[in-house]
Structure 1
Amino acid sequence: MAKTLKVLQLQTRYNAADTNSDLGEQILQGLPAERFEVVNAYLEGRPADDAVDPPGRRQVFFEFSEKDMSGLRRKVQARLLAFCREERFDVVLLHRFKAVNLFMHLNKKLRIARCIGVSHGFGEYDRFYRRWQARRLIDECWRFVGVSPAVSDYLVSLRCGFTNANTVAITNALDIDLAESLQLSREQARQALALPSDALIVGAIGRLVPIKGHVHLIRAFSALSGEYSNVHLAIIGGGREEANLSALVAELGLQTRVHLCGTRPDAMRYVKGFDVFVMPSLQEGLGLALLEGMCGRLPVLGSDIPAMRPLLDGARGRTFAPGDVPALTEQLRACLADSDETRAEHGERAYQYLRREHDINDFRNKYRALLEGDRPVQGAPT
């Protein structure tokens, strides 16, 4: 019988809103308890209530503060070093820059044989000193994952320790069966979001931060709102741009037509309340929300950025240049001009692409193989 592997999965911040679509949770769902002893840990945050440990793994919430996580992070490093020495992990799986960078330093002392760093987007290593640290600290213990071919290409292009030999793309996937079991009906979703039952709803899901491009979506919607008096725009998500977006909506006189729905746990539950799904991001690692829109059998529109282009091409969705309000307006206008039947056909086409190309079992098997280290990491696409 194969030895049980003790795995630490370390994420930066606990987010109760995304438990069912969370990448880390999807990976762990594919790790059988008889083969993997898993500790799932978070550097910052914790659930509002007492956490219940899922079968086969423990949850650990370090609850470091923002101050703890800045600068030299001596307190963080000391606690993690002691924790890992006590637990004696075989493998660590690390999400996003903070966790990866911490372990680049710590593993010089721990010497855990298999460290896997997952990059969820671009720009993490744009700063010179971060590339300098990576070049100095990456050794034979490390493997890296980009959540899309575009992200893995970005890492390798930096020439600071990420190579075709140690870096692989594992494209994010969606547990479609789970997502569909959670989806509210059209009527239920609209009632929950306080959206008009008889309107045509353009929907988007994403944090309210500048990089998500919501300001451009609102301006594009404004440009055609006079042509389509029964069309509304709904955006699910919260963030630091909420006040600015609310002010823009008021400036454009669209308070009754644009709905900022706030943060919603498992936002994918509401996609059936939309008629059209738009993702106007300026930059993405993959764009998981786009897959959630496809799961709702919705026609999809999105920015023509490297991480999303293959998804939109595969689903035969409409594209526009990132940040290009006139182009977004024209693509949205074309979609709204379609008949209900045509939009339904386009939505079904996107759904079938999702089923065909983003299988959750394939995704889980690739991560399991990487954790087990029983096959070479394939080179990142170039």
Structure 2
Amino acid sequence: MSVKVLHLICPTGYYGAERWVNALVGANDDPNIEYHLAITDEPGASDEVLERTSLAARYHHRVPMGSKFDLRVIARLVTLLKEHRIDVLHSHGYKSDILGVAAARLAGVVSVCTPHGFENANDWRLKTYMWLGGKSFHWFDRVCPLSGDIARELIQRYQVDARRIRQIDNGVDLGEVERALVKPEPRRDSLFTIGYIGQLISRKNLTATLEAFAHFYGRHPRSRLVLIGDGEERSGLEHRSSELGISGAVEFLGFRDDRLGFLPTFDVFALTSSLEGIPRCLMEAMAADVCVTAFDIPGVDQLVDNGRTGVLVSNGDTLALSRAWSELAAAPAKRSELAGAGRNWVYQRFSASAMAASYASLYHDLMSRQVASHA
């Protein structure tokens, strides 16, 4: 049975969810799945997810949106779904979940959403989106969390019926990592380099990274911290690095198209997030054969087995993280051993092709059930 699937996202840049969508559609090898990709064309939106997708232009769709939350989009989505005879709408993110499930219900198509993680929100607008997004979960035919921890939160916090939930583990485009490593960035010097790639947002808890590095730098002055990415926390983080007296050793490189090429220049990768699904940035670092270090939180522990595929320290313990870096700086052979084991684990368990096969199976199953219900 042929199945047409429309992925819907309200993009603010080219970050985890946008990369996830392109990894999924790029890894599809089921000839009976036809993917389409729609973005809301709104003030401040980015169309980079369309520019970078492997899908042909005829499968790209921009849905006009007059404001940050324009309910007229629902009617426009219904028209889009009907015109292209879409079978499944698959949404990503609070806002796209709210708009997408309403349109899917009105158009009479199957609906799926993938929660990529939950925010620690202070902004009232984001809190409102989260609340409405939580309510929308109950209307989807399937909710597909990226990890067991997200699945438990859906059940415990949002009271989603477990029968609607189908966990499909996160996957990373290993081909993208491999292509980036063909011509990596050259190492500039022998400074011990701690790196991070991702959004500079509150739940990434990068203040903790800076504080851990301040402890480390005091004992290891021939070191640097490199932060690649952008977000609303950047100015505050720059100010904090100055307060800590480490601004001369911390590099904020901003958003980089060639971000993956920097991974081989890192001696260790650092992730001090307070909240995650299964973090793509950590999977990319592991796939690039970089030793990873992180706070021990749900989601991260799906990737990092402490002492075997990387190093975990207690959540929030910046002194322990600093000590872990010191130990790794003194033991290059140990770093190499952890990096190799981490790379093998990602390749075995978290490939985009395995994720794509699981979703193809889900779509076919949902369509078979719909056909049977209408028989």
TM-score by length of 1: 0.84
Matched, 1:25 2:7: no
Determine the structure 1 residue equivalent to 2:288: 296
Determine the structure 2 residue equivalent to 1:325: 318
8 Å Cα contact 2:295/2:315 also seen in 1? yes
Displacement of 1:57 in angstroms is 5.3
Structure number having the greater helix percentage: 2
Determine the structure 2 residue equivalent to 1:98: 95
CA distance in 1, matches of 2:29, 2:58: 10
Matched, 1:205 2:206: no
8 Å Cα contact 1:294/1:351 also seen in 2? yes
Q: Pairwise mapping of residues 1-382 of structure 1 onto structure 2 (< 5 A)?
A: 2=1, 4-13=2-11, 15-16=13-14, 22-32=19-29, 34-44=31-41, 45-47=45-47, 51=51, 54-55=55-56, 58-64=59-65, 68-70=67-69, 73-112=70-109, 114-122=110-118, 130=132, 133-134=135-136, 138=139, 142-158=141-157, 160=159, 162-183=160-181, 188-190=185-187, 196-313=188-305, 315-338=308-331, 340-373=332-365
Displacement of 1:241 in angstroms is 1.3
CA distance in 1, matches of 2:32, 2:278: 30
> Among the aligned pairs, what percent are the same residue?
21
Displacement of 1:252 in angstroms is 2.4
Deviations 1:64-116 (A, max 9, x none): 35xx233xx3322232222223333111111122111113323332221x211
User: Secondary structure in 2 aligned to 1:202?
Assistant: strand
8 Å Cα contact 1:369/1:375 also seen in 2? no
8 Å Cα contact 2:309/2:339 also seen in 1? no
CA distance in 1, matches of 2:258, 2:64: 23
Deviations 1:142-187 (A, max 9, x none): 1110011111121122363x2222101111112223311222656x
8 Å Cα contact 1:249/1:258 also seen in 2? yes
Amino acid at match of 2:106: K
Report the CA distance shift for 1:235/1:355 in structure 2 as closer, same or farther (over 3 A): same
User: Secondary structure in 2 aligned to 1:98?
Assistant: helix
Amino acid at match of 1:158: R
CA distance in 1, matches of 2:48, 2:21: 20
CA distance in 2, matches of 1:131, 1:46: 21
8 Å Cα contact 2:28/2:353 also seen in 1? no
User: Secondary structure in 1 aligned to 2:248?
Assistant: coil
| Structure 1 residue ranges, 4+ long, deviating more than 6 angstroms after superposition | 124-128, 374-377
Determine the structure 1 residue equivalent to 2:373: none
CA distance in 1, matches of 2:250, 2:135: 45
Report the CA distance shift for 1:234/1:147 in structure 2 as closer, same or farther (over 3 A): same
Report the CA distance shift for 1:226/1:46 in structure 2 as closer, same or farther (over 3 A): closer
User: Secondary structure in 2 aligned to 1:62?
Assistant: strand
RMSD value over aligned CA atoms?
A: 3.0
- Is 228-237 or 102-111 further displaced after alignment? 102-111
Deviations 1:325-344 (A, max 9, x none): 22322222222232x22211
8 Å Cα contact 1:18/1:265 also seen in 2? no
User: Secondary structure in 1 aligned to 2:60?
Assistant: strand
User: Secondary structure in 1 aligned to 2:275?
Assistant: coil
Amino acid at match of 1:142: D
Deviations 1:283-321 (A, max 9, x none): 111111111111121111111111111211175321123
Displacement of 1:50 in angstroms is 9.5
How many residues are aligned here?
Answer: 358
CA distance in 2, matches of 1:217, 1:132: 30
Report the CA distance shift for 1:131/1:322 in structure 2 as closer, same or farther (over 3 A): same
Identify unmatched segments of 5+ residues in structure 1. Answer: 191-195, 378-382
- Is 83-92 or 4-13 further displaced after alignment? 83-92
CA distance in 1, matches of 2:223, 2:272: 18
Report the CA distance shift for 1:42/1:241 in structure 2 as closer, same or farther (over 3 A): same
CA distance in 1, matches of 2:112, 2:47: 26
CA distance in 2, matches of 1:251, 1:163: 48
Displacement of 1:265 in angstroms is 1.6
8 Å Cα contact 1:18/1:266 also seen in 2? no
Report the CA distance shift for 1:175/1:93 in structure 2 as closer, same or farther (over 3 A): same
User: Secondary structure in 1 aligned to 2:170?
Assistant: coil
Amino acid at match of 1:242: R
CA distance in 1, matches of 2:36, 2:335: 44
CA distance in 1, matches of 2:134, 2:15: 35
CA distance in 1, matches of 2:366, 2:231: 41
8 Å Cα contact 1:17/1:263 also seen in 2? no
Report the CA distance shift for 1:181/1:259 in structure 2 as closer, same or farther (over 3 A): same
